[in-house]
Structure 1
């Protein structure tokens, strides 16, 4: 009896400790509420990321200032201030360059650290940006300290003489380029002009790396390794991208996909065959897709798998012409709706992507498909993936999805696994804020159809007004409509109360405000004593 009681106490302590750590360290925003939402022209990472970044910053500060040995009889630098300036200038320059491997590693798709830790690309992208900011500050400090020292030793004429040296000019170019890169990487520019940002980012990064090699050339190769490691990381990432494209469709450079656009749903459906792939896509995976038929065929963009099936919709399934048709009714045989080569594609197993068209790439793809009224259009794509980790949601007794708009693809990616394939089927709730009735109708009738039929899924739709509500047909008992925005806090607290005695996974994917609401609600639920809750967030942007 004593051992059992002790085991219970230890288990309770671990549960309380884990709950405290989640609600105070790993889940909450750094300060108060905002995490996914931007603050002015910047974003603030989560608290655990901020603590990690702060630890890295502290390490850099210590490495830059610790261990200076100041002596009175220094034959090279006569005064203590000259000694401090020279030591600080050297140290900040070396540490700044030493950060380059981390900057390049954390910014790559094929990041070994992601494979080792399980942290996602968005997390390492934050680390990438902050490592770059710290390295840039150290480079600026390095330049300022040397400039002061030069003026102390010889004034303007001596300062002008240094510009006759290549290594000096290379260092100046590298520092100015690093500062420019920070300016061009602010959140507002990344979000509004992503393609331009990416081209400038790559160009300046190459320039910085090459000029840094020139800057350290006076050391006869002593610091060249800090150039070659980032260069190797970059080459490795590109080689892995090429390998992923090849193993997706061995023997061919591109894959033929079927794409269609719905005006009523305002969504693009892209179906890509997976029969030749040397692997099977899994729930939660995302792929970088390049449309070779696009005028900017060099661009690639990440999209999460919405579903994996042997059915490919034809154009009629997107329309709102037959609103009274039951949502769970059988779909028309796809082979009757298309002909020729496209019909052959329909017989293959496909993975489907649902893409919301905005500007740039998705807008061009929409325009390409807008005139196609009768059947999907064949497009040539390069498929780079899979990326991302599959969360072990099947291990939870209750799973709550909170989605906004096209963010529902994250929930769709897991539905069949949770409702049909898991050994122990959890209770699954989907709370989805959606504007277009056509989009909701199509998703429920097509991508969520099997999960709804299994009876393990309950769906709550949130529409902006009564005018946006629509007839749900035969699934009215499984799908509830609500007018207005979802009360995220109430939804999470209700799910937490229903999960007492079991564990709960809360998965959010939607607009930034929705994600922050969900994050805060989970923290509040943990404070209320619901210890077995975990929070997962799939970001719209990185």
Structure 2
């Protein structure tokens, strides 16, 4: 029996390929959900005072070496080996479908005959349709895929990018072959692209895809985010309209993901424009100096943060009054939340206002009292260090908000780019700013199932680690039995001591809570100051804290010390910083067989 090639209907390749991909994904999701059931069962055992811990699946240890991350020049700074193998496997699957699909066995066929190019290029185009359908889904912030698979939006972005590249390569094979056919039909250069209506619409669609690709290269994405973002939107609109005009069957592939994408856009618009975010204070936490860029602090209230989990982030739009207002409100930038507080909501006529003013100088008023703009007169004394410390101590340890409570959060934003430097300047002059928030987004990091949590941070990359540490310590201090973490290590690298100032009292709070915890929890902090050879020990007298001047940490030594202290205990590693820093930490975690998570914004 030999493989028979059905050469009359290239649509079958697209249909069967889509079913194959969704089938594989469904198997993964079922496995993930079964694992979640097991994790919740273990946590219930701990609630009933049983010494139960989550144990990794048997094959996880064998797969651990594949989590090592490497750099691919001109492509990406961080990619796990398992992703390289996965993309390679995925590419091979695409080639198999282009050459062999649809699959049908016929005993009358005794030899293989390579399909003609004119058939394979169309198969490639329809398989590319499926891939770009996935690109839509994986590029949406709110979709069912994240709930089914446990993969968050930013974890899906690399797959979004790789599928787009593979799909574009398949479109290009179709496009180049048809260009040759168009030119050879009349030997007129214009006919290469515009031979007839089908050629014209196909060429315009291809130009839309190329616009997306060119403006998605790393340099543009990191240095000119607005160009990248709006070229994405314009390019995809052009590409989708003219692709479906070019071939009506493309509606079958694109309409479901487009509808999901539109639903995502509608929900995001509701979150950012329908749910008000009230700025309480926008100021300079650290002024810019010759040795460091400065840090802006934003304190705001947002009721949707009741769903927030430590380590998550929000998209923020900040705009000044003026002719650029609408443009600035359309520019959304991801920002990691550095701290969250639960405070009681107080109506303007409430007699309890005086009590709540001891928690924060500006009372969180009813919706009708809320303001749209931040300015210096809004709350001249609000959210100062003392008020934040008081809020920190009064806030409940529960991760969820109760009735009558609202959520106040802080952002600490370093002046690293043009946008953040302008924000720092506006904060220093108390310039009125219009403030919108979309989120929160990001994974629910499962550190609580590990006995040891080790956080590594560089510069402002400390912010997600602080929320994780605070949540862990507060829940252990309150006696929450589902949190099994007993030891936290923090290795933080900064250039100058100014970067410590906004967070020093938070570290003091951690140490204080550890001493009075119902369930034992210990924190060790190692702070490295790289650009100063010597200086005052700002952490002097704080148990478990050390300050090292004039050098960078030896990540390998720190990890080996953790191994020596805790043996075979499960360790969860979190890292945020430069690509080289994260690569070093992640590969160190792989070496010791530990689970790790890294924070990165590559949207």
Shorter-normalised TM range: 0.7 to 0.9
In the aligned structure 2, how far is the partner of 1:15 from the partner of 1:201?
40
In the aligned structure 1, how far is the partner of 2:136 from the partner of 2:234?
14
Aligned to 1:256: 279
In the aligned structure 1, how far is the partner of 2:58 from the partner of 2:241?
52
Aligned to 1:123: 155
- Indicate which of 562, 568, 587 corresponds to 1:495: 562
In the aligned structure 1, how far is the partner of 2:217 from the partner of 2:508?
42
The 3-state SS of whatever aligns with 1:291 is strand
Pairwise CA RMSD:
3.2
Aligned to 2:330: 298
Aligned to 2:259: 232
- Indicate which of 478, 498, 510 corresponds to 1:438: 498
Deviation (angstroms), 1:157: 5.9
- Indicate which of 30, 39, 46 corresponds to 2:80: 46
Q: Which runs of 5+ in 2 are unaligned?
A: 1-52, 104-112, 344-357, 363-374, 388-405, 515-521
Residues 540, 434 of structure 1: CA spacing in aligned structure 2 closer, same or farther, 3 A cutoff? farther
CA contact (8 A) 2:457 2:493 kept: yes
The 3-state SS of whatever aligns with 1:109 is coil
Q: Deviations over 1:318-345 (max 9, x none)?
A: xxxxxxxxxxxxxx99649x99641696
CA contact (8 A) 2:320 2:432 kept: no
Aligned to 1:28: 68
1:353 aligns with 2:393: no
Q: Where do 1:285-324 residues align within 5 Å?
A: 285-293=312-320, 295=324, 296-309=328-341
In the aligned structure 2, how far is the partner of 1:299 from the partner of 1:409?
22
Q: Deviations over 1:133-163 (max 9, x none)?
A: 11111111112333445566x4526983983
The 3-state SS of whatever aligns with 2:495 is coil
CA contact (8 A) 2:456 2:575 kept: yes
In the aligned structure 2, how far is the partner of 1:389 from the partner of 1:504?
18
Deviation (angstroms), 1:368: 0.6
Q: Which runs of 5+ in 1 are unaligned?
A: 1-10, 70-79, 312-331, 527-532
CA contact (8 A) 1:257 1:379 kept: no
In the aligned structure 2, how far is the partner of 1:161 from the partner of 1:308?
59
In the aligned structure 2, how far is the partner of 1:150 from the partner of 1:501?
66
In the aligned structure 1, how far is the partner of 2:268 from the partner of 2:529?
40
In the aligned structure 1, how far is the partner of 2:207 from the partner of 2:188?
22
Deviation (angstroms), 1:396: 1.4
Q: Deviations over 1:4-42 (max 9, x none)?
A: xxxxxxx9x9776422212x22x212xxxx34xx62354
In the aligned structure 1, how far is the partner of 2:262 from the partner of 2:359?
46
CA contact (8 A) 1:257 1:380 kept: no
Range with greater deviation from structure 2 (116-125 or 221-230): 221-230
Deviation (angstroms), 1:47: 2.0
Aligned to 2:61: 19
Aligned to 1:363: 421
Deviation (angstroms), 1:427: 0.8
In the aligned structure 1, how far is the partner of 2:199 from the partner of 2:88?
32
In the aligned structure 2, how far is the partner of 1:42 from the partner of 1:161?
34
The 3-state SS of whatever aligns with 1:515 is helix
Q: Deviations over 1:150-207 (max 9, x none)?
A: 566x452698398352221110122233234322211122112222121222211211
Q: Which stretches of structure 1, 4 residues or more, deviate above 6 A after TM superposition?
A: 13-16
Aligned to 1:461: 527
Aligned to 1:508: 575
CA contact (8 A) 2:193 2:203 kept: no
Aligned to 1:241: 268
In the aligned structure 2, how far is the partner of 1:209 from the partner of 1:341?
46
CA contact (8 A) 2:450 2:570 kept: yes
- Indicate which of 168, 193, 198 corresponds to 2:224: 193
In the aligned structure 1, how far is the partner of 2:453 from the partner of 2:193?
64
- Indicate which of 142, 155, 164 corresponds to 1:132: 164
In the aligned structure 1, how far is the partner of 2:531 from the partner of 2:193?
69
Aligned to 1:414: 468
In the aligned structure 2, how far is the partner of 1:477 from the partner of 1:67?
66
Aligned to 1:451: 510
1:538 aligns with 2:538: no
In the superposition, the TM-score normalised over structure 1's length comes to: 0.79
- Indicate which of 538, 546, 564 corresponds to 1:472: 538
